[in-house]
Amino acid sequence: MQENQREHWRDRVEKAETDARFYRMIFEKSTAPTIVIESDYTISRINERVEELLGYSKEEIEGKIEWLRFVVKEDLERMMRYHHMRRKDPGAAPGEYECRLMNREGQVHDILIKLDMIRGTTTSVATLVNVTAEKAVVKTLRQREAEFRAIVEHFTGFLYTCHKDYRLAYINRPLGERTGMNLDSGPCFKVVYGREDPCPWCENQETFSGKTVETERLDPVDERWYNVITTPICGEDGEVLLRQTVMVDITDRKMAEERMRSRAALLMEENQRLKSSLKDRYRFHGIVGKSPEMQGVYDRILQAAGSGAAVVIRGESGTGKELVAKAIHGLSQRKNGPFVPVNCGAIPENLMESEFFGYKKGAFTGADTDKKGLLEMSSGGTLFLDEVGEIPLSMQVKLLRALEGNGFRPLGGREHISTDLRIIAATHRNMEAMVAEGRMRQDFFYRLHIIPIYLPPLRERKSDISLLVEHFLSAMGDELSSGVDARVMEAFFRYPWPGNVRELQNVLQRYVTLGTLDLPVSSAEDTNVSDRTLKDRLDLYEREVLLETLKQCEGHRGHTADLLGIDRRTLERKMNRFKLRENDTA
């Protein structure tokens, strides 16, 4: 019997040893750091994961170090309290809580402790779960949430979110202050707009279908304009959970747009009125002429004045190109800036660079002071390049660089000067032919030839001669107000005027001063003029005036009569007398 008892106890011991080995293996191989804590805080046993977490070996810890040594100062008192509470009453202290432990390197880890007492002892077993990474993520998310909340709360516009049934989920501070309501005050249409039923403009259906809707709307509450963007807020599965609406006050912008529209309408109306009035005007910014050709020039001047692009005025010498340039400048946004005219043909080639770019004192012999160049003198205004075709190729490339915004340096200077000017050029030459012949750079031509204006020679607008004569006589003084007789006017109409308006002014001054008409007409024309009676000459002059006026009015008899200051029956009688028809004006 004793032998049986001994056998029984041997079996129990073996089983206990087997169980102990099993549990020791589980303890040692556990993937979670685990420690055994005695009542005096001493750590009696650890597994391999604790070595990895704390940076100490088993030999250094087991039976030698109190576990409180690893607890950070801020958590120490709480851990001691839990330790004593648990040993008096195992259920008195929480079985799961967080604390922070410091490893050998001084790194602090956030630890979730799951702890239990070994039954019948004062020893506890604690599993340590390192949640440092998770805590960092949560902290980051909370920081971002706080940042976004601060942004939303301080957003100067209105923001709210609501469910599909119009229940509010969120309103920001400015919207709450405007309405004096909160989330529990009712559906969105009541809180935001003070309505008893859904808004007729509501984008609920579109938004919960996944669409973003943007509109501009006049708010019925404060009667201000808002840019309203409504977007869906989706869950992880893509289902729309909420509708978010952002309202930004754009009243000032809308008012500015309305002012701009009104101003644009006024400008368009004024432009149309001005264009219409130009048809009946004989003078325009110092330019004299009522012919259809000159009305076209006036239209081009208006177009050029409204643009900042380069202009090239083309026409024969004496047609008034500088007057056109001054008119464009005077009507443009640069009218308060300088207008600097320069005759490019009058500048010697060796002085051209210093004239355009200026120079610094000491740049060359005789440069005793600094001198601004034409480009710098024109800053903020207009540089008029008369006879631009006379600029040599070597200078064209230098000017081109400056005019394209690259600036320039004065001779002898180091400072780089930027240009802010407009170029208006003029020439009597065929610029395309000059480019083809290599006398003008193609890039220089394209830089200037953006808005071309053609000035017709006087021989192509003879209906303006009488106006020009009147204008020049008025400018000469009262003592010359007797005018010119029909014979002289007839000669003026017949002469081809190769020198154009400048020649007319010169001839008229000589005629008024000397009392003789000095025109290089042929002997045949002289004979014809001298042989005609006064009546013939007057009839010829009257016929020319009628023909030119009919041409100007495109054959319209009513307009022609109004322009001549006679009734229509008188006009028709004169047309029959001179055998004129509407198709004679073609």
- The CATH class that applies to domain 24-131 reads alpha beta
CA 107 to chain centroid, in Å, comes to 53
Which one of 2.40.10.10, 3.40.50.10470, 3.40.366.10, 3.30.450.20 gives the CATH number of domain 155-249? 3.30.450.20
- In angstroms, rounded to a whole number, what is the distance separating the alpha carbons of residues 109 and 104? 11
- Check for a shared fold between 24-131 and 155-249: yes
- In angstroms, rounded to a whole number, what is the distance separating the alpha carbons of residues 175 and 192? 8
Per-residue pLDDT tens for 118-149?
888 888 888 888 888 888 877 777 777 666 66
Contact 387, 344 (CB under 8 A): yes
Helix axes of 568-577 and 557-564: crossing angle, nearest 10 degrees: 100
Report the amino acid identity of residue 261.
Answer: R
Q: What's the chain's length in residues?
A: 586
| β-strands 382-386, 339-343 pairing | parallel
Coil, helix or strand at residue 195: coil
pLDDT, mean of each 10-residue run, the chain (586 residues): 58 52 54 87 88 89 90 91 88 88 91 86 87 80 69 73 88 83 83 86 86 88 88 85 87 86 75 57 78 88 89 92 92 91 90 86 73 88 93 90 81 81 93 92 92 92 86 71 70 87 88 75 42 60 78 80 82 79 58
pLDDT at residue 522, as a whole number = 42
| Structural tokens at position 162 | 């609501």
Domain ranges of the chain: 24-131, 155-249, 285-456, 459-585
Contact 431, 314 (CB under 8 A): yes
Contact 34, 51 (CB under 8 A): no
Coil, helix or strand at residue 311: strand
CATH code for the structural domain at 285-456? 3.40.50.300
Q: Among 582, 327, 288, which Cα is nearest to 458's?
A: 288
CA distances 296 to 279, 302, 330, Å, are 9, 10, 18
CA-derived radius of gyration, the chain: 50
| Structural tokens at position 184 | 């529990």
| Structural tokens at position 312 | 């090239």
| 8-state DSSP, 71 | B
Question: Which residues in 235-282 belong to E strands, given as ranges?
Answer: 240-249
pLDDT at residue 478, as a whole number = 46
- In angstroms, rounded to a whole number, what is the distance separating the alpha carbons of residues 546 and 580? 9
pLDDT at residue 525, as a whole number = 45
The CA-based angle 513-515-518, given to 5 degrees, is: 95
Beta-bridged to residue 99, according to DSSP, are: 111
Residues 6+ apart with CB under 8 A from 225: 216, 217, 218, 219, 249, 250, 251, 253, 254
Q: What is the pTM of this model?
A: 0.48
Contact 453, 301 (CB under 8 A): yes
Task: Report the b/e string of 48-63 with b at 16+ CB within 10 A.
Answer: ebbeebbebebeebbe
